Structure 1
Amino acid sequence: MHQLQRAAESYPSPTMNLRGYDDVDSLPESLRGWAKTNPNEGLHEFQTEELHVAVVPTDTGQGQAFVVFDVAGIEAASSEDWWLLLLITGVVGTLGALGFGLGVLVMRRAVAPVAQLARVVADIDLDQRSGADHKRIESSRFGDDEVGVLAAAIEKTLDRISEFVERERNFTAAASHELRTPITVITGAIELLEQSDLSADDVRALDRVRRATLDMRTTIEMFLSLARETDDGLYSEHFLVKPMVCRAIDQQRHLLNGKSVYVDVDDLAGPEVDGHPQAFFIAVSNLVRNAFEHALDGQGPITITIKERELLVANQVSSCADGRYGAAEPLSSDGYGLGLGIVQRLCERNGWSFSLNVDDARVAACLSW
């Protein structure tokens, strides 16, 4: 239609391969009847005859002239172009799909050794590592490329971990015997001395030795509990909380000698806990010890509240103690008995939680289970 417009504008000398007609009788027979109706100037399309006709005025002003454009050949060429474009699109799409599939295949083949190495590492049990596991992880099985380098690094790391676990087992087994034996001997000696006729000064000295021995036993049990890789089935015991608290208070009460401080124990629920009783007692004893050591004369009471899911140990703080308790890192082990950081580790090891809240009036340690 655009070509026909250009031809009509150049009439009576059309520059394209079109035919111009000055009168109606010279038009093709299929257009004569239409032309006699005196059509409006402009472009007209006849789809049945596949003709486009432009009606233009003549220079003499007499009648109308007609420019006829046969579009049958052009439409046929356009149809052929469409099929050609469709063919090109199909070829390009097929090549794109083949390229994508080939890329995925190459990527999978490249990643396959890494995935195999990951599965092998995931299946290795460090506690029961065998010779077959060592052969499966050998770097020589993965070539000299980047995967082989990674396999070699993992192989060395696993060897170091296995050696460390073995050393840890040997140490805890030896320490459990070698450290407990002298404590047992000292405890037996203390019991024998208690049966002797001692002076008042000797009795006080013996009490200090007994307390130091008890503290040493607790410390050994705590560190062995933290260092031991397995629990040996001791973490499934069922025990009451209040007897643990009362025992810790009795053991640490000597720290309140000479202080006018009252200890208030409030058992609100009488809870029971499933877990490691020795680890729980160590944590409770450390919290009680810290509270007793930092309690000031005449500033009390120290409140120990036992709830269904938590134990709260709180004592008041004076201005001279604010600097110690109000540090930026309250879980630091400096100056807090065996260390609140160790209590934190015990709780993490046994699935409990520990928090320390400090304000202007008091310090409150909370142990939750």
Structure 2
Amino acid sequence: MYRHSLRKRVAIAFAVCVATLSVAWGLAFFAAIRLSEDRALVNQLQLAAESYPSLPMNIRGYDEARSLPESLREWGQTNPGEGLYEFSAEEFHVAVLSIDNEKLATDNEQQHAFVVFDVAGIEAASSEDWWWLLFITGVVGTLGALGFGLGVIVMRRAVAPVTQLAQMVADIDLEHLTVGDHKRIESSRFGDDEVGMLAGTIEKTLERISAFVVRERDFTSSASHELRTPITVITGALELLEQSDLSAADVKVVDRVRRATLDMKTTIEMFLCLARESDNGLYDEQFLVMPLVSRAIDQQRYLLSGKCIDVVLHDLAKPRICGHPPAFAVVVNNLVRNAFEHTLEGQGPITILIKEHELLVANQVSSITDEGQLPTDASSFNGYGLGLGIVQRLCERNGWSFSLHVDGTRVTARLSW
């Protein structure tokens, strides 16, 4: 349980990290200053101890430039301004002062005095400076690495609830949701902060989706039984009627009822295919294309009654594809039915071409049909044919590709796999 919001925890973590690094750097600089002071004093004391009993005079004062040490005399005669000067090669540090000496001054000119500090033996050698630079670089790098590690640890603890929630969501199989998936996200453990609100929302959403999955399964199982039972009863009754003596008019009526029953059965199968979330591996079944195409032609041939239209079937290959056979049968039945239904007398033939990776159904439409109402691509299915929108959805579910092409008065439906 977290007492503060995510925003406040991140701010606190950042403040703690910055404060810790600031204290560490402050202590490091303070230690460096004290070490430098101690080092200078130790070197000066060491030099005095080595010169005992005559103590060295490291700091001396000079009233005029000509009295300076020989290595500084020429520089002093250039009348330098007030300030501090360092001469690394000669190992001197010089302070230039302005003094008023009435005895020495002429024409109110201001005289300079020099304070010379001889640092020979006190300052470290260049090689030692390099070692100290290497040591300081190592300390700085170590502090930087420790600061980075501390920042990672602190920030990781601050955003730990977000990581935990993301892991919980990642463990859920969104393609196969179960009834209890919403229980995997325990929003109560995140408190009342932003992460807790997000976890609660995800939990409620998954709960609604799980309930929807249950309703979908109940509906499809009930609809599958309740809708197919009347169809089976009607089919049995038709078979009994066919065995009795019927007049020519009655035979036509029975044929019409049989066709309507077959259409109803196909429609039920089609909607059940779309309604099911899962079909227990039926989408991975291997089947032949040719038998389903031949059956669709036989079932829809009654639409060509009274029309002198030929159906030309070109079987260029014997493809075997992977998918849902009932869904493929529904798709083929719709395409064949569209071609048979929209082809008028004298507009044949209807061509059905089976290739290795596609099925083509082509037919002519009436020249007086308003071509502006004919679809020119797969996105304009409404108003043309029977169930082409449903065909598109079935193809998407099975990984197939469907397109409709219009060239003048010739319409070609293409189904690829």
Counterpart pick for 1:153 among 198, 201, 209: 201
Partner Cα distance (2:389, 2:124) in 1: 86
**How far is the alpha carbon of 1:272 from its aligned partner?**
2.4
Contact 1:288 1:313 in 2 (8 A): yes
Contact 1:333 1:342 in 2 (8 A): no
In the alignment, does 2:321 pair up with 1:259?
Answer: no
Counterpart pick for 1:324 among 344, 367, 373: 373
SS class of match (1:18): helix
In structure 1, runs of 5+ residues without a counterpart are: 1-10, 22-46, 52-69
Contact 2:182 2:210 in 1 (8 A): no
Contact 1:331 1:340 in 2 (8 A): no
SS class of match (2:258): helix
Contact 1:263 1:301 in 2 (8 A): yes
**TM (normalized to structure 1)?**
0.73
In the alignment, does 2:150 pair up with 1:102?
Answer: yes
In the alignment, which residue of structure 2 is the partner of 1:19?
73
Counterpart pick for 1:169 among 183, 206, 217: 217
Residues 165-314 of structure 1 mapped to structure 2, 5 A cutoff: 165-314=213-362
Partner Cα distance (1:86, 1:237) in 2: 71
Contact 1:344 1:354 in 2 (8 A): yes
* Greater alpha carbon shift after TM alignment, 172-181 vs 134-143: 134-143
Partner Cα distance (1:321, 1:313) in 2: 21
**TM (normalized to structure 2)?**
0.65
**How far is the alpha carbon of 1:99 from its aligned partner?**
3.4
Partner Cα distance (1:362, 1:209) in 2: 32
Partner Cα distance (1:246, 1:111) in 2: 62
In the alignment, which residue of structure 1 is the partner of 2:411?
363
In the alignment, which residue of structure 2 is the partner of 1:35?
none
**How far is the alpha carbon of 1:271 from its aligned partner?**
2.0
Contact 2:179 2:213 in 1 (8 A): no
SS class of match (2:318): coil
Letter in 2 for 1:120: M
In the alignment, which residue of structure 2 is the partner of 1:38?
none
Q: How has the CA–CA distance of structure 1 residues 266 and 84 changed in structure 2, closer, same or farther, with 3 Å as cutoff? A: same
Deviations 1:126-182 (A, max 9, x none): 64444xx65541211112211111110111011101100000111011101100111
Partner Cα distance (2:74, 2:272) in 1: 111
SS class of match (2:272): helix
Letter in 2 for 1:275: G
Higher relative contact order (CA 8 A, sep 6+): 2
SS class of match (1:296): coil
Contact 2:376 2:406 in 1 (8 A): no
**How far is the alpha carbon of 1:210 from its aligned partner?**
0.9
Q: How has the CA–CA distance of structure 1 residues 134 and 288 changed in structure 2, closer, same or farther, with 3 Å as cutoff? A: closer
**How far is the alpha carbon of 1:262 from its aligned partner?**
1.6
Partner Cα distance (1:328, 1:279) in 2: 22
Counterpart pick for 2:385 among 330, 336, 340: 336
SS class of match (1:356): strand
Letter in 1 for 2:147: G
Partner Cα distance (1:304, 1:71) in 2: 108
SS class of match (1:20): helix
Partner Cα distance (2:383, 2:280) in 1: 32
Partner Cα distance (2:354, 2:209) in 1: 41
Q: How has the CA–CA distance of structure 1 residues 127 and 88 changed in structure 2, closer, same or farther, with 3 Å as cutoff? A: closer
In the alignment, which residue of structure 2 is the partner of 1:115?
163
Deviations 1:231-285 (A, max 9, x none): 1343444432222111111111122233332211000112223332211111111
Q: How has the CA–CA distance of structure 1 residues 90 and 238 changed in structure 2, closer, same or farther, with 3 Å as cutoff? A: closer
Contact 2:376 2:405 in 1 (8 A): no
SS class of match (2:74): strand
SS class of match (1:315): strand
**How far is the alpha carbon of 1:204 from its aligned partner?**
1.7
In the alignment, which residue of structure 2 is the partner of 1:57?
none
Letter in 2 for 1:209: V
Letter in 1 for 2:74: G
Q: How has the CA–CA distance of structure 1 residues 326 and 225 changed in structure 2, closer, same or farther, with 3 Å as cutoff? A: closer
Deviations 1:18-65 (A, max 9, x none): 3139xxxxxxxxxxxxxxxxxxxxxxxxx7x889xxxxxxxxxxxxxx
Partner Cα distance (2:391, 2:287) in 1: 19
How many residue pairs match? The answer is 313
